[in-house]
Amino acid sequence: MPILTLLVVLAIIAVAGYVLGRRRAMASADGDMRKLHSLPSYYGYNAALTGLVPAALVLAVWTIAQPMVLQNNVSDMITTEVADDGALSLIMSDVRRLADGLDTAVAQGALTPAEAANMTAEGTDVRGTLADVGVALGSEVSQDVLGAAQAYRAGSATGNLIKTVLVLLIAIGGTAFALMKTTATFRARNTVERGVMAVLIAAASIAILTTIGIVLSLVFNTVEFFRLYPAMDFFFGTTWQPSFSGRGGASELGLLPLLWGTLYISFVALLVAVPIGLFAAIYLSEYAGPRVRAFAKPMLEVLAGIPTIVYGLFALLVVGPMLKDVFGGDGALGVAWMTGDRSVITAGLVMGIMLIPFVSSLSDDIINAVPQSMRDGSLGLGATPSETIRQVVLPAALPGIVGAILLAASRAIGETMIVVLGAGAAGRLDLNPFEAMTTVTAKIVSQLTGDSDFSSPEALVAFALGMSLFVITLGLNVFALFIVRKYREQYE
Amino acid sequence: MKDLNLTEKSHLMSDTKISAKGVQVYYGDNHAIKDVNVDIEDKTVTAFIGPSGCGKSTFLRTINRMNDTIDICRVEGDILIDGEDIYDPAVDPVQLRAKVGMVFQKPNPFPKSIYDNVAYGPKIHGLARNKAELDEIVEKSLRKAALWNEAKDRLQAPGTGLSGGQQQRLCIARAIATSPEVLLMDEPCSALDPIATAQVEELIDELRQSFSVVIVTHSMQQAARVSQKTAFFHLGNLVEFGETDKIFTNPEDPRTESYISGRIG
């Protein structure tokens, strides 16, 4: 049974469980709701949840685990010499595709189920047959791959059957169990409460497990990279010069020029965003009347809704040429500091504009959280509004503002599109902000775009870069949260 | 108002610090203070009593123009301090507030050290020429506020770390550090326990030597204990103003009597 049908059947069982549970509860109380421990609908929910939740859980786990187990089993059937894990995974994806192709062929009637299960690579033109039903295979099919695909098909057919039966059994069994327990004194309300908690915990753990999964995938590939490329050269190398396979020569994959570019551009961005954002927040929270505020705050937050690629275009097409007109060779100042449109300052300025709403919105909330009595106290002593802000409100809000700035900084460090378009592609250790540089994120993009061979250090370096970036931004976020939390305790 | 004439006669010789004439306050369309006339004397504690929402705090806040910070608030009539109209366009409200200090309902020390809390006012108004003078002002203010002995060893500790009563005395020290002529207190003891309240009340009595003190309070016992003059507000009107003893023992207006005996409010 396909998963969708299975889900529909599960839903029907749940609805039936609800109706039956409710009816049974009412019957056990002789139709008098007041004799029940809980409202009748709770008995219904109890029956529905007891049937649905374990069955859905088993279904999810089985669906995820089955292909992995099958693949493990059939991979032994591959007799062709394989160079490494990467090559094996390529062959396995062929196997899967072939198995899917056979399924399609059977479904369309081009092959009988028996033909599909017994055909041999020598006896039939597998590739041609499958091409007829619209499944394109990359190469001729060898006998061991075909055998593996057939075993895969057979395994997944059995697996699906067992899965369907098991899930339905669990659903019906759970519902029956719940119905059996449904009596007037059964505490359905409390049971449903526990069920609700379980569902909420499941939702929360998916988010956490995903994070762990992302980190693990980074870690494994990073470890793989460091096996191919010395860690010292990566962390302390001052040259970024990857050479792609085919062109020959060793790559130099030093983190420092990229990290420098990242930090330099983020620094310029914060130099723009922090004062402007903070002053805007102060104006909005302390000086602006309610009408200005109602209009200006959403307008400022529109900036946060602009996709970063649009900011990138703005950097490349507007800000870059404009800066070059001033600082370039034939520019207004005649200083010839800037040679191209792309530079640290181009990307930094535009990224700063992007970050203004982050800084201003967070700072605005934090400034508003400073109690009005502080302002009254200061104004009551004869301080002007700006003295009050400078000497009382800002110091009180400072930890929170620092937290906001650090959060903005971690956004700046992770920003990609503006850098790709605005800052250039050359990894360089240079102090001149009018020079093109590049960042860690931009290089991750360029190392993984196009055909990449995931067993070469040139591609795997992307994971090491991602991991370094992750550690840096994680550190910043933890630090920011720590500061924000410390601030919260102050007025409670 | 008729009761006002009486008090004016009996105190004709004492010198008037604050004089309000026909004061009206509006919050938008809401007429919060209706035609209040009152003369508040120097070196006296004047208590404003009345039920919640009667306008006593609003009137207090007109005396140092704190109502200016509320957009929809409008004040009419004259308030004179030492004969000078404080709502005259020539008067700088910021300077005025240095002269008319204010202590609020809840202790609101700044998140700074005890020293910096007290030194805040003198610093922004440039009252000290050097660090030694500033130290002297801080010490004098803390002594006046009866906080010096408790705070002298921890001047650099944060003001928010003090107990509630100590915080309120710190706020009083902060207010008197700018050497104001009038001290306005808006229910200064409502957030304090009885012991801290007694300390602050004792302090108010001492402050009378140097300032004219106006205190808003919900506690009639407190008004009776600390004040020499009492004003009773009801629904935005100043119902009765006179000697505290007389208001509490022999009020003229039936509304005052009802309030004091607990029948309205």
Q: Do A357 and A453 have their domain in common?
A: yes
Q: What pLDDT is recorded for position B2?
A: 42
Q: Which residues of A touch B127 (CB under 8 A)?
A: none
Residue A259 has pLDDT above 70, yes or no: yes
Q: Do A172 and A305 have their domain in common?
A: no
Specify the 3-state DSSP secondary structure of A92. helix
Task: Residue B181: count other Cβ atoms within 10 Å of its Cβ.
Answer: 16
Element (H, E) at B177: none
Residue type, A5: T
Q: What pLDDT is recorded for position A83?
A: 56
Domain assignment present for A267: yes
Domain assignment present for A231: no
Are the C-beta atoms of B167 and B86 separated by less than 8 Å? no
A395 in reach of chain B (CB within 8 A):
yes
Tens digits of per-residue pLDDT, A164-190? 999 999 999 999 999 988 888 888 888
Domain assignment present for A110: yes
**Segment among A450-454, B125-129, B148-152 with least mean pLDDT:** A450-454
CA angle B99, B100, B105 (to 5 degrees): 145
Task: Residue A34: count other Cβ atoms within 10 Å of its Cβ.
Answer: 5
Residue among B97, B109, B125 minimizing CB distance to A380? B97
Q: Do A310 and A385 have their domain in common?
A: yes
CATH number of the domain at A349, please. Answer: 1.10.3720.10
Q: What pLDDT is recorded for position B11?
A: 46
Compute the Cα dihedral for A226, A231, A235, A240 and give only its sign. Answer: negative
- DSSP 8-state code for residue A337: -
Torsion of CA B77, B79, B85, B91, to 10 degrees: -100
Percent of chain A with pLDDT over 70: 93
Q: Do A195 and A279 have their domain in common?
A: no
Q: Do A192 and A276 have their domain in common?
A: no
Domain assignment present for A224: no
Q: Do A265 and A137 have their domain in common?
A: no
Looking at the complex, report in whole angstroms how far the Cα of residue A308 sits from the nearest Cα belonging to chain B: 39
Q: Which residues, 6 or more positions from A369, have their beta carbon under 8 angstroms from its beta carbon? A: A397, A400, A491
Percent of chain B with pLDDT over 70: 94
Residue A186 to residues A20, A47, A174, Cα–Cα distance (Å): 15, 12, 16
Domain assignment present for A219: no
- How far, in Å, CA of B100 to CA of B217, rounded? 18
Helices (H) and strands (E) in chain A, counts: 19, 2
First-last CA distance in chain B: 22
Q: Do A245 and A192 have their domain in common?
A: no
- The tokens describing B255, both together, are 């509304």
Are the C-beta atoms of A136 and A82 separated by less than 8 Å? no
Q: What pLDDT is recorded for position A195?
A: 85
Q: Do A166 and A248 have their domain in common?
A: no
Residue A97 belongs to what domain range? 3-199
**Segment among A314-318, A336-340, B176-180 with least mean pLDDT:** A336-340
Name the domain boundary from A166, A199, A232. Answer: A199
This model of the complex carries an ipTM of 0.84
Q: Do A175 and A244 have their domain in common?
A: no
What's the mean pLDDT in A19-31? 88
- How far, in Å, CA of A354 to CA of A398, rounded? 22
Name the domain boundary from A140, A166, A199. Answer: A199
Domain assignment present for A223: no
Residue A19 has pLDDT above 50, yes or no: yes
Domain assignment present for A276: yes
* Count of structural domains within chain A: 2
Residue B1 has pLDDT above 60, yes or no: no
Per-residue pLDDT band at A272 (split at 50, 70, 90):
very high
Residue type, A34: R
Per-residue pLDDT band at A433 (split at 50, 70, 90):
confident
Name the domain boundary from A144, A167, A199. Answer: A199
- Note whether A381 contacts B178, CB cutoff 8 Å: yes
Q: Which residues of B touch A287 (CB under 8 A)?
A: none
Q: Do A175 and A247 have their domain in common?
A: no
- What is the set of domains in chain B, with CATH numbers? 2-260 (3.40.50.300)
A329 in reach of chain B (CB within 8 A):
no
Q: Which residues, 6 or more positions from A459, have their beta carbon under 8 angstroms from its beta carbon? A: A447, A448, A452, A453
- How far, in Å, CA of A432 to CA of A337, rounded? 8
Domain assignment present for A460: yes
A-facing residues of B in 129-168 (CB < 8 A) are 160
Q: Identify the CA nearest to A357 among candidates A415, A305, A286.
A: A305
What's the mean pLDDT in B136-153? 91
Q: How many angstroms from the chain centroid is the CA of residue A442?
A: 18
Q: Do A180 and A322 have their domain in common?
A: no
Q: Do A169 and A287 have their domain in common?
A: no
